[in-house]
Structure 1
Amino acid sequence: MTCVSSSNSKLSLNAVFTQLCTFYLLAIAVQVIGRFLVSRVSENEIIIDIGENTAALLLVIRGLSYFGIWGEIGWFTTAKWKSFPVFLVPALYIVLNFNGAYGHDLSTVLQAALNTVISASFEELLCRLIALHLLIHGFTAQGNKRPILCAVLTSSLLFGFAHFTNLLNQPEALGAIIGQMIYASFIGIGFAACYIVTKSIVPLIVIHASINFVSFLGESKIEPPALTFEDTLGTVIVCFPLLLLGLWLLRHEPK
């Protein structure tokens, strides 16, 4: 793979897609390896998830340096604070996802909290930083008139499609996973647009982790898992406003 830096925006779109596909596959492979290694020493599913996501996060952090994106990252841009109210819409999903709290013990809750922070960091850094920045370079080099909008849509579709790997663990849940891919794409468009407008990734990591955490708190071991598309249709509908938010924020190409 060819290294990209903020001073090199001439990388072709085909080269960008090749890089992204290669890096996504590498991230999946690292997750599988991390999961396998941790499962050799622990049967705790959350601990195994932590190992899997930590391995992927370390790879993504290395990727930020490899692709030369560190200098372009907006972690928490106070100069854009007037744009921060856009975070209220994705933050609303923390409340919408809260469905009570089942009797998890303290150790499990703390493990789950750690896992949600690690997994949210991994996904946001990969999909809202590496993918988005590389695609902006690629569409700009192509001469596209709306490089940021095209990069947001493409990175979000990739984010949604990445959930197809869940089929490896749940081959019987194809319908539900298709639903996951759709609503994850909606979430990706809304989140990516918020990042573009605010130049701040940390609030999105916090919101993403919080959504996952309250979802965990509401999980019940006696409830059957989602298996069909109909099982996820409600979530698809609920996440649709994030698609509208993203398209509205990007109705004009940001400078």
Structure 2
Amino acid sequence: MKENIKKKDFGIRVIVGFVIFFAVFFGGDWLVGKSLYGVSNKVGGTCLRVSLGILCSIYTAKVLKIKIGFKRDDFFRGLMMQTPIWLIAVFFSVINVVKLSGKMTTSEFFVNCAVWSVYALAVGFFEEVLCRGLLLNGLCVMLEGKKNPVIVSIVLSSLIFGALHFINVIDGSASFIETAIQVVYTTVGGIVFAMAYKRSNTIWSTIVVHGFLDFAVFMGKPF
């Protein structure tokens, strides 16, 4: 009985923490989008994500008593498990370099890449800490004693990670069809990230690959 109460209390903390951090992120990102433009917009978005990522890490460690895994144990193993994703990122990077050639001066190109790379790493940092560090680990604890708790947690957390991208419809940054496609491939990507994270015991590899993929997609967009 006491064990059930403890698990219920833990589950509430996981859900409440996840919802609060995502809600603050959504509201903060909306404000940044409405008040800042150009490079300032990306700087504001980067600061927001890094700040929330750090706070989420502290919440996960201190309140949930979960170690996210900021050591570099098996970092390269994690990278290798995500090979399909970073190969896709390389492909998109090449396409965008070709696309941007002739449209920007060399200095403009490097400034564009520098801004997007920092922003993309911040995106990867926050989303990995929130969806893998807090949510995935939280679900694993909540489902202890059930059948295949890690596999179920990986699938559930990845479905939630993918579904979160529906906010792109709400804020008007993408159509419903575009967002639905994004939800599918981010869910699949989430499964790959989650598997690599659980096998490598470090979140750094998923942050790096996630950030690289976002950079490969973002770099072709003006800011």
TM-score, normalization by structure 1: 0.70
Contact preservation (8 Å) 2:131, 2:161: yes
How many residues in Structure 1 have an aligned counterpart in Structure 2? 209
Q: Equivalent residues in 2 for 1:169-184 (5 A)?
A: 169-170=171-172, 173-184=175-186
User: C-alpha distance in 1, partners of 2:142/2:163?
Assistant: 20
2:96 aligns with 100
With over 3 angstroms needed to count, the CA separation of the structure-2 counterparts of 1:183 and 1:154, relative to structure 1, is same
Letter in 1 for 2:59: Y
Shift of 1:172: 6.6
With over 3 angstroms needed to count, the CA separation of the structure-2 counterparts of 1:23 and 1:81, relative to structure 1, is closer
Contact preservation (8 Å) 2:43, 2:119: yes
Q: Which of 182, 190, 193 lines up with 2:192 in the alignment?
A: 190
Q: Equivalent residues in 2 for 1:53-132 (5 A)?
A: 53-68=46-61, 72-78=67-73, 85-98=80-93, 99-101=95-97, 102=100, 103-104=103-104, 105=108, 106-132=110-136
User: C-alpha distance in 1, partners of 2:37/2:79?
Assistant: 41
DSSP 3-state at the match of 2:147: coil
CA offset digits 1:153-212 (Å, max 9, x no partner): 111011001101111222771111111111110000011001111112112111111111
Give the fraction of aligned pairs with identical amino acids, expressed as a percent.
21
Kindly report the root-mean-square deviation, in angstroms, between the aligned alpha carbons of the 2 structures. 3.1
Shift of 1:22: 5.5
List alignment gaps of at least 5 residues for structure 2. none
With over 3 angstroms needed to count, the CA separation of the structure-2 counterparts of 1:218 and 1:193, relative to structure 1, is same
User: C-alpha distance in 2, partners of 1:111/1:196?
Assistant: 30
1:133 aligns with 2:121: no
Shift of 1:73: 2.2
Q: Which structure is higher in helix share?
A: 2
1:43 aligns with 2:37: yes
User: C-alpha distance in 1, partners of 2:21/2:196?
Assistant: 27
With over 3 angstroms needed to count, the CA separation of the structure-2 counterparts of 1:80 and 1:187, relative to structure 1, is closer
Shift of 1:80: 7.5
Tell me: higher relative CO, structure 1 or 2? Use CA pairs within 8 A at least 6 residues apart: 2
Letter in 2 for 1:139: L
2:160 aligns with 158
